[in-house]
Amino acid sequence: MNIGKLLLILGATIATASFAAKYEAEAGTLTNDAKKVSDGGASGGAYVDMQSGNLSINNVNAEKTGKYSLKVRYKVGDYKENLLKVNGASAGTLAFEASNNWTDLSTVVTLNAGNNTILIEKYWGWVSVDYIEVNPYVSEPFKISSNLVTPNATESAQKLYTFLVNNFGKKTISGVMTGDMGSYSMGADFKTHDDVKEIYSKGGKYPALVGVDFLFASGPNANSSWNQEYTNKALSLARNLWKQGGIPNFTWHWKDPLDKQDAFYIKGATDGTYTDFDFATAFKSGTTEWNTESAAYKGIIADVDHIADYFLDLQKDGIAGIFRPLHEAGGKWFWWSINSGKQFAALYRLVFDRMVKVKGVKNMIWVYNPISPAVYDWDPGADYYDVIAIDIYNSANDHSSCSSDFDKFKSASKSSKIIALTENGPIPDINNMVKEEAMWSWWMPWYSTWGSTFSSQTSNAMWKSNLNDERVITLEDMPGWASYTPVVNSSSSTPATTSSSSESIASSSSSESAITSSSSNETQHLAKTFNLNVSSEITGIFDMNGHYMGSESALTKLPQGRYIIRSRAAGKTTNSLYLKK
């Protein structure tokens, strides 16, 4: 066996085995009314009752910078959520399921080499914490299907999906949501929209993905001239975006299907008009079987068919897009989330089945968007969505990667789905995403029109540094849908592409091949073997089609085969062939 390969495997194994540490909660720093409670049944003879206070664990030591598994030993009478921060930066939300006995919550954090501070900060509060434990993190390779969940998807949808798959893990797609359509003209260049222009003015480039909303396409006032104009402008923008090589992204703030109220929010979620529509009345009593004669069912179907017709018009013209129906599942503010997870899942499946199998919509990439990775029982089933996603609004200028949520979704989906950040305030910094292995497929800050300020939550300097980074895909980097030709390698279920734009590694079946950077004409040739030395840092592992498989910790999980190891030493990046036996 090659010595370099042996050292590589041994290095990963030793790193996994040599680091594990427990930190007692009562030894941490307690603020506000968090208090120490003596208890012979707790580790160390005591625990911390957080109440409405905070718990900070200092001097959490890590051997090297990277990802680590974090276990929190806790108990709580009812479900609670609290915030997790590492070295002052947001690291996601901790969802504590109800348990009267000591139990474990696991997540993933990124630590710096040396000492770190882990803070559990009050959001809901009122959790008892015994200790935290830090262990090595082993990254599982992604196993994403080359096939869409939509049977017989259109050629355009196949192109779009392949583009998402090929770039996932290597690059992130820049996006923005649109709001006010007042100053946008029918048929105009999408770049003239105020929300799109705002991003260009800050970063000097245009986003590759632009979101539009069917906000006014349904409901009691859908047929008014103003509402119809808004929807038609949104669709016009999507058409022009696709023509210029961009990605249309569709959201639907679905108003009362019975058309009683011009609202999608439920009572208590808004100070304005709300709906009391209960979609459970569309089921046969005590089941999730649809009562097709009910008024609620008929209203749902009428609205779904109406939106499907818009997609079919786009489909006729060869346009594809991303569709995120019933978004923020589990959040108690929209009517589609007021009931159980099982009932929501049935509603999501109804929307998909009606659009795809009855109406014939074949041009959409489907997104399932729960409010948190903890909402497992709301999942409609892996056969109903291509992408799993979350909406995260950090504080202004907090450009964390939100890797904790990324890793939870990766685990929940068994590494089988593309993962996206479908709404956000400040953008996640590309350097943080790479460092913490949380490369969202795309991000999409909410609009800045209608009095919002979301784009300003990211400084102009941060916009420029990210939009000009080769790892962030802007409109200028898109290959053009007419020339983009997806190819499926016969030896792999993962698609490749013949287009070099926005593809960081070219596929190869030989023992020595070339890797071409998308930002220059420089070509780096593969070394025939990978030799690990003490100064080398593995920055990524890719299959022979160039698809990201994970970091160094994923080596022991890889099946037999040939891979490309990307490493960095002395400021130089090297791509090497690695044979896993």
Predicted pLDDT of residue 17: 40
CA neighbor of 181 nearest in space, from 222, 221, 212: 212
The SS3 of residue 281 is helix
Predicted pLDDT of residue 520: 34
CB of 57 closer than 8 Å to CB of 30: no
Predicted pLDDT of residue 545: 56
Q: How far apart are CA 117 and CA 331, in angstroms?
A: 31
pLDDT tens across the length of the chain (581 residues)? 343 443 343 344 333 344 579 999 999 999 999 999 999 999 999 999 999 999 999 999 998 888 999 999 999 999 899 999 999 988 888 989 999 999 999 999 999 999 999 999 999 999 999 999 999 988 889 999 999 999 999 999 999 999 999 999 999 999 999 999 999 999 999 999 999 999 999 999 999 999 999 999 999 999 999 999 999 999 999 999 999 999 999 999 999 999 999 999 999 999 999 999 999 999 999 999 999 999 999 999 999 999 999 999 999 999 999 999 999 999 999 999 999 999 999 999 999 999 999 999 999 999 999 998 777 789 999 999 999 999 999 999 999 999 989 998 999 999 999 999 999 999 999 999 998 899 999 999 999 999 999 999 999 999 999 999 999 999 999 999 999 987 643 223 333 333 334 543 333 333 323 333 333 333 334 444 455 454 567 777 776 656 666 667 667 777 766 777 877 666 666 677 776 66
Q: Is the dihedral of CA 557, 559, 561, 562 positive or negative?
A: negative
The SS3 of residue 504 is coil
Predicted pLDDT of residue 233: 98
Q: How far apart are CA 175 and CA 63, in angstroms?
A: 36
* Amino acid residing at 14: I
Q: How far apart are CA 406 and CA 387, in angstroms?
A: 12
269 phi, psi to nearest 5 deg: -100, -5
Predicted pLDDT of residue 576: 75
Q: How far apart are CA 355 and CA 351, in angstroms?
A: 6
Q: How far apart are CA 234 and CA 178, in angstroms?
A: 9
Q: How far apart are CA 186 and CA 209, in angstroms?
A: 19
Helix (H), strand (E), coil (C) string for 376-422: HHHCCCHHHCCEEEEEECCCCCCCCCCHHHHHHHHHHCCCCCEEEEE
Is residue 45 left, alpha or beta, with left meaning phi > 0 and alpha meaning psi from -120 to 50? left
Count of alpha carbons within 13 angstroms of residue 256, beta-carbon side: 17
